Amino acid sequence: MLGRSIYRLLTSHILNATCLLLAITTGRVNGQSSAEVRQALHDLHNDKIPGNCVRATNWLLQHREDVKEDLLDELYKTDTDSQEGDAIFYVLFNTSSFAPDERFARLVIARLAEQDSQVQNGVIFELKRDAGDLEPIHTPGAHWEAWPFMNKHFSTFEPLLKEQIGRTNNVFVLWGTAWLFKKRGLLRDYSTLFTPAILDSVAANLRADNQRYNASHAVRLFLLLGDQSLPALRKEASSGDRQSRYLAAAAIDALTKGSHNAFGYLNANLNLTGVPFGDEPADPSWLPEAIKKYHVYQADSDESTTESVDPYP
């Protein structure tokens, strides 16, 4: 009887200690209280309070391994605004242990076409940071950081990117997808996915339409695809739009003749050196002189007009 009494006493003490420990830790996520997590998620919203989203993002980034499931739950809510969504993407992109599933991957791909129309580049994070293990990007924005993340988890994103080619007319998405396929050594295998109809729609981006950088993305895509692009470019070379006509003619000469003048013209009017991530290509030694022959207008900047480009050739 005495032995049983001692056993019951010890058991009671152990249970009491366990309950006390649970009480102390209730409402905490591996050292972060649930209240702290909720406040950080609240501060991600676009509430016009300067700096609170950046501070909350940095706090979540410091604790990203502990709060990644909370971030996913928040992302999947229907009332998540664009700023909050981009901040969550940023933290999860830079959480090394995070493995995306198809649901998350589809959200990432859907985000790409938005570009910076809802959340301006650099609002949430800057380029110089100590986070994650992704290859470096050149413009701070969720739609840019998505590309090295998709490259890291390529097996998850590959079929969805192939599917998206036939579903989107967004030239940023089409160019980035082709670029990523080329980086992975797959563009030759998947080039037929870029059908004549798709390339005709891409060529329309050469026109003066006051959409930033769409002409640059279009020409980058045409140069990646090579001779496959020529039919669409030849149609656009007879366009009534002055800018489109000259850019298409220069792109044709660049592809068929390797013309230095053509590359000079294109680089004077467009940004062709941009890449989704990693090192930008070095300019050939002859390019600066070729550019000097033409006035630099940046044809597809937001100041573009139908009279903005020099004639070509």
Structurally, the chain folds into a number of domains equal to: 1
Residue 25 lies in a domain: no
What 3-state DSSP class applies to 121?
Answer: coil
Residue 235 within a domain: yes
pLDDT at 2: 45
Please enumerate in sequence order all residues whose Cβ is within 8 A of that of 287, keeping only pairs 6 or more positions apart, or say none.
260, 263, 264, 267
Ordered mean pLDDT values, 10 residues apiece, the chain (313 residues): 45 42 40 84 86 90 94 91 94 95 97 93 70 81 95 98 97 98 98 98 94 94 98 96 96 98 95 93 95 74 52 89
Give domain status of residue 8, yes or no: no
How many other CB atoms sit within 10 Å of the CB of residue 43? 20
pLDDT at res. 299: 55
The verdict on residue 251 lying in a domain is yes
Position 10 scores a pLDDT of 42
> In Å, what is the CA distance from 10 to each residue of 1, 20, 21, 231?
14, 15, 17, 85
Asked if residue 129 belongs to a domain, the reply is no
Q: What is the pLDDT of residue 27?
A: 41
C-alpha 228/C-alpha 150 separation (Å) is 26
pLDDT score recorded for residue 203: 98
- pLDDT of res. 129: 53
For residue 289, is it within any domain? yes
Q: Token pair 């979540």 is at which residue?
A: 60
- Report the alpha-carbon angle 135-138-142, nearest 5: 80
Is residue 252 domain-resident?
yes
Of 187, 194, 104, nearest in space to 153 by CA:
104
- Residue 197 belongs to a domain: yes
Residue 80's pLDDT is 85
Domain extent, residue 271, equals 191-313
